[in-house]
Amino acid sequence: MKNSGINLCIKGLLLFFLLVGSISCKEAAKKDSTAEKNSTEAMEGTNTAENFGGLALYTVRDAMGEDAKATLKAVADAGYKNIEAAGYADGKFYNMSVEEFKSLLKELNLTPVSTHQGSVTLDNADTMMADVKAAGFEYFVIPVPPMGMFEFNMEEKTMGMKGTAAELADLLDTLGEKANAVGLKLLYHNHDFEFKENAEGIVTIDYLLENCNPDWVNFQMDLYWVVKAGANPVTYFEKYPGRFKIWHVKDMDDQGRFAPVGKGTIDFKQILANKEQSGMEYYMVEQDMTFDGMKPLEAIEVSHEGLKEFGFE
């Protein structure tokens, strides 16, 4: 009986040490796994805790056409958190299915916020909006007057519009109602011509702001084009508060050309100080063209550093 009790004690001790050893091994494995995960995230450079701001992918459109995955990886590595697409055709984003594109953005920790849908018509709007919604976007943006209303003078390099401001307002309201019905928010994006009087003496942007239903239609203000037109963004924030949900942020050099944020003359500090009055919820860096040998992927890095100088976050 005595030996039997000793054997039981020995067996108990052995079982105890085996259990402790097993727990220790599991804890060590867990720590190794966590360390490996953290190391991988650091190497990938897509830690959203450090990333902020958005990028309009129109800036890197050529690179997106060549290698969308590598370009989006570069966008994340440059420090951006949100994206605005500008590459939808035939039910695909940048030649990827809706599911493939959405999955890629998730893999890279990039958030789809808005998308420019310049080819929208009353006939294709329902299908297009369904795709935009399925891809995870919040904002459906009309980049120019749609359905053949937009004009571009190649010789003079100027933009304009066929038809009337009233016709455009009615069309935007119709599309805005459709967007609202599927849980999207419709915005109209400006250039410079909307801020100038047309042949009838009407300033198109003012007409749209005063006549479009604010429940269905709001605006993406391109700060460069407002300044280029000789208007003041802050004046519009004061006159039409809460209507400008997304900004396009790009600078203007002393020749009036597009420039990276912080490398031009636009007073972003004054504009940013009026962010709340404008209604801005997101902003997207954009640079339509680059100059003096700078590549678009270089320009987006310069702009992201410039955002910090002005207090964008």
pLDDT at 44: 44
Higher pLDDT, 136 or 39: 136
From CA 173, how far away is CA 5, in angstroms rounded? 88
Mean pLDDT value of segment 269-283: 98
Cα distance between residue 199 and residue 160, in whole Å: 11
Distance CA 313, CA 299 (A): 18
Mean pLDDT of 243-264: 98
Does residue 31 have a pLDDT over 70? no
For the chain, the straight-line distance linking the first and the last C-alpha, in angstroms and rounded, comes to 76
d(C-alpha 185, C-alpha 178), whole Å: 10
Tell me which CATH code domain 48-310 carries.
3.20.20.150
Statement: residue 131 has pLDDT above 90: yes
Residues 6+ apart with CB under 8 A from 309: 262
Query: Comparing 41-50, 204-213, 239-248, which segment has the lowest mean pLDDT?
Result: 41-50
**32 pLDDT higher than 60:** no
pLDDT at 152 over 90: yes
Residue with tokens 């919040």: 138
Q: Which residues contact 152 (CB under 8 A, 6 or more apart)?
A: 158, 159, 160
What does the pLDDT read at residue 306?
97
Residue 284 pLDDT: 98
User: Which DSSP helix (H) or strand (E) runs through 153?
Assistant: strand 150-153
| Cα gap 282→279, rounded to integer Å | 9
Quote the mean pLDDT of the chain.
88
Check residue 51 and give its pLDDT.
95
Largest CA distance in the chain: 112
The pTM for the full model equals 0.85
Give the containing element (helix H, strand E) for 126.
helix 125-134
241: tokens are 């508060």
Q: What angle do CA 115, 216, 142 make, to 5 degrees?
A: 30
Q: What pLDDT shows up at residue 14?
A: 35
Q: Looking at the predicted structure, is the pLDDT value of residue 42 above 80?
A: no
What are the structural domain ranges in the chain?
A: 1-44, 48-310
pLDDT above 80 for 43:
no
Confidence of residue 39 (pLDDT cuts 50, 70, 90): very low
CA-nearest of 105, 100, 102, 87 to 51 is 105
DSSP annotation string for 179-233 = HHHTT-EEEEE--SGGGSB-TTS-BHHHHHHHHS-TTTEEEEEEHHHHHHTT--H
Distance between CA atoms of 263 and 298, rounded to whole angstroms?
13
pLDDT tens figures, 165-196: 999 999 999 999 999 999 999 999 999 999 99
Of 215 and 15, the structure prediction assigns the larger pLDDT to 215
In this prediction, residue 171 carries a pLDDT of 98
Q: What are 84's strand-pairing partners?
A: 56, 114
Contact 121, 146 (CB under 8 A): yes
The pLDDT value given to residue 49: 54
The answer on pLDDT for 7 being more than 70 is no
Please indicate whether residue 41 or residue 141 has the higher confidence score (pLDDT). 141
pLDDT at 230: 97
What is the average pLDDT across 52-76? 98
Say what the pLDDT of residue 50 is.
81
